[in-house]
Amino acid sequence: MTPDGRYFVVRGRLWRMADPSLSEVERQRLVDELMRARRAVGIAKRAETLLAERSARAAVDEAKRALGERGPVWWQDGAPDLNRHMARNTPYADWFANLGRSGEGVIDKIE
């Protein structure tokens, strides 16, 4: 996780964290919705049902927006959204370069 808690890094890419102002109960409810929607995407893809897949993808997007991972940023200091940017090309470059040297906290893949 970046020092300011806004992003986590996977394979060098920044991914926006959920809004920390969400209660644990609300965050878990939204994560559960997100996981259901992601499963629905997989089911629709395997069934080759385009309409169901579109609906499931919309549900994924809705959950991610509610979590604060997409859409308007949840921080108030005017800093830009660097979601999906390579960390080495952002203001986090020095932090990331130093993190990579120790290997501590580096995520190579999501399981």
pLDDT in tens, 43-78: 999 999 999 999 999 999 999 999 999 999 999 999
88 neighbors 96 (Cβ within 8 angstroms): yes
Residue 74 included in any domain: no
Q: Judge if 37 and 58 occupy the same domain.
A: yes
Q: Judge if 61 and 93 occupy the same domain.
A: no
Residue 110 included in any domain: yes
Query: Residue 64 belongs to what domain range?
Result: 23-68
pLDDT classification of 109: cutoffs 50, 70, 90 = very low
What total number of domains does the chain contain? 2
Residue 1 has pLDDT above 50, yes or no: yes
Residue 7 included in any domain: yes
Residue 21 has pLDDT above 70, yes or no: yes
Q: Where are the alpha helices (DSSP H) in 5-111?
A: 24-47, 50-67, 93-102
Q: Judge if 64 and 91 occupy the same domain.
A: no
**Whole-prediction pTM value?**
0.82
- pLDDT tens digits, one per residue of 84-103: 999 999 999 999 999 866 55
Residue 73 included in any domain: no
